[in-house]
């Protein structure tokens, strides 16, 4: 039996490094949900807003940031955009959505609101790395959301 430690992989080679996007783009993430109204109520409870123009019986468009949006779709609507089955998000994770907030207190506050409005904690407590602090929850459909604060002084090429 080989007891040697696994080799550490080298970091990927970057041919276009930077701290800002070379070409600014908007991000739209589509997520399947069982009940659009339940999802709207949950995320409004966390302080998010929705674009009424792109919200209807089977969809809801949530503003995440200046150039980031989540489109929540009923399962029936979502399958029209993918030829793959929707996984059971209570047993599988395909992505983790991370939201930056302005302080450690904001991390704790959002987690508290998430649990109070129908979400569940995704970990056994916050992760504190000194320069970065975070916690996470699952929304009512099982999508994992990480909420984190990072000390701006620690970010290379800071602002």
What are 50-66's pLDDT values in tens digits? Answer: 999 999 999 999 999 98
Determine what percent of the chain falls in helix, strand and coil, rounding each to the nearest 5. Answer: 20, 30, 45
pLDDT digits (tens, 9 = 90+) for 2-14: 677 778 888 888 8
- Return the closest-CA partner of residue 119 out of 21, 15, 46: 46
Return the residue matching tokens 């506050």: 109
The whole-model pTM stands at 0.84
Tokens of 72: 């929540």
First to last CA, the chain: 50
Residue 6 CA to residue 14 CA, distance in Å, equals 24
Least confident of 39-48, 88-97, 148-157: 148-157
């Amino acid at each position: 039996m080989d007891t040697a430690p696994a080799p550490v992989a080298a970091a990927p080679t970057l041919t276009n490094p930077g701290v800002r996007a070379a070409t600014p783009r908007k991000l739209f993430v589509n997520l399947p949900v069982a009940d659009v109204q339940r999802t709207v109520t949950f995320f409004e409870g966390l302080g998010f807003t929705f674009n009424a123009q792109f919200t209807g019986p089977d969809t809801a468009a949530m503003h995440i940031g200046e150039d980031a949006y989540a489109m929540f779709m009923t399962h029936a609507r979502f399958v029209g955009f993918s030829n793959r089955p929707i996984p059971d998000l209570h047993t599988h994770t395909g992505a983790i959505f991370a939201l930056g907030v302005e302080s450690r207190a904001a991390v704790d506050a959002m987690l508290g609101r998430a649990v109070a409005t129908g979400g569940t904690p995704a970990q056994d407590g916050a992760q504190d790395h000194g320069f970065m602090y975070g916690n996470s929850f699952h929304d009512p459909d099982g999508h994992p959301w990480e909420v984190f604060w990072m000390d701006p002084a620690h970010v290379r090429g800071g602002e």
